[in-house]
Amino acid sequence: MDAAITMVGLSGGVDSSVAALLLRRAGDPVGGLFMKNWEEDDRGACTAERDAADAEGVARALGIPFHSRNFATEYWDGVFEHFLAEHRAGRTPNPDVLCNREIKFRTFIDHALDLGAARIATGHYARIGWRAGRAVLLRATDLEKDQSYFLHAVGHRALAQATFPVGHLHKAQVRALAAEAGLATHAKKDSTGICFIGERDFRAFLARFIAPRPGPVLAADGSLLGAHRGLHFHTLGQRGGLGIGGVRGRPEAPWYVVGKDLARQALVVDQDHDSPCLLARRLRAEQPHWVAGAPPATRFAADAKVRYRQPDQRCDVAVADDGTLDVRFDTPQRAVAAGQSVVFYDGEACLGGATIAATDAAWGGLNAAPALPRHARSEVA
């Protein structure tokens, strides 16, 4: 195989299809590698077979070699077990971040190199720049599709072996290019759901791996409103799916998850969308990953996101000796969930990020959680 070949991670979607198309048009030697990262266990939920067929069809249409590898074991060990452990701990993990670091930019790179490739390409909406001889992760041109948030844990060494051919394009342009080239994926729906597991009933799926652990649903004042099947089914800010019907003496208004009392296995809810229990100005983050290999300084100002597609939030970051981060925001942040990622930016460059461990909101953990009054009776009508 040509030593200069670029191995494209063909997922069976339009973005990776166009990534391969653009490299082919540029005259680069190109190959395609489909990654199967989940063993299908029920029909209709996981689309691996259909995606593999679409990926092979794109490779055939472009006249490039096609390969397929099963990384299900690596995905389970490196991503899914962590995903389950975080849910058992009452946190809200983000498997896409770990999947990018452990699978797409580690396992995939290793297999691509074994196949004789010199570098890899994916259909991510992001860009790679260079500063002082090191690869830098940059936001995509299409900020609505920018995926740098999910790529923040990929280091400069892995980025130096990669390219993102669609990072300078808008989604409409990508679909137009695919249609113009006659690629069958040009109108394929974007994938959603858990990374590489697909769209399915999330609660039913999670219940297969984590035993139910019921507990009370409490209002912020300690009143008993009902019961839940397990804290792992819920996340901060969640509206709906709480099983709360009419409540005597309460207005007809939505309820929101505002906290988890792990000691009492209680789910805490409130009817205020911007409940003080949901607002945090400060968070502690752990297990940081810096694109450059180290933080820019022990104290620095940056823009940050505590969830995907959130507008930039100005903050100050202090790095402790053990690497943990103390992040203070200029304005309060709503529903900052432990287990999610806080990701930092300097202009268009993604600096890196870390896992949110606690906040200064009620039940967040930086400060002691408020003592809930012991509920005497249910208010459920």
The set of catalytic residues is: 99, 195
Q: Within 13 Å of residue 87, how many CA atoms lie on the same side as its CB?
A: 23
CA separation, residue 349 to residues 7, 113, 304, 344 (Å): 25, 27, 11, 9
Q: Are 318 and 380 in contact (CB under 8 A)?
A: no
Cα angle at 309 between 237 and 83, to 5 degrees? Answer: 60
Longest dimension (CA), the chain: 74
Residue type, 76: W
- According to DSSP, residue 193 is labeled S
Q: How far apart are CA 341 and CA 92, in angstroms?
A: 10
CA separation, residue 182 to residues 14, 63, 147, 187 (Å): 11, 13, 26, 11
* Residues sharing a CB contact under 8 Å with residue 287, sequence separation 6 or more, in sequence order: 323, 354, 355
Q: How far apart are CA 121 and CA 33, in angstroms?
A: 10
- How do strand 313-319 and strand 325-334 relate by DSSP bridges? antiparallel
3-state SS, residue 225: strand
Cα angle at 302 between 299 and 307, to 5 degrees? Answer: 120
369 token code pair: 């959680």
Phi, psi dihedrals of residue 237, rounded to the nearest 5°: 85, -5
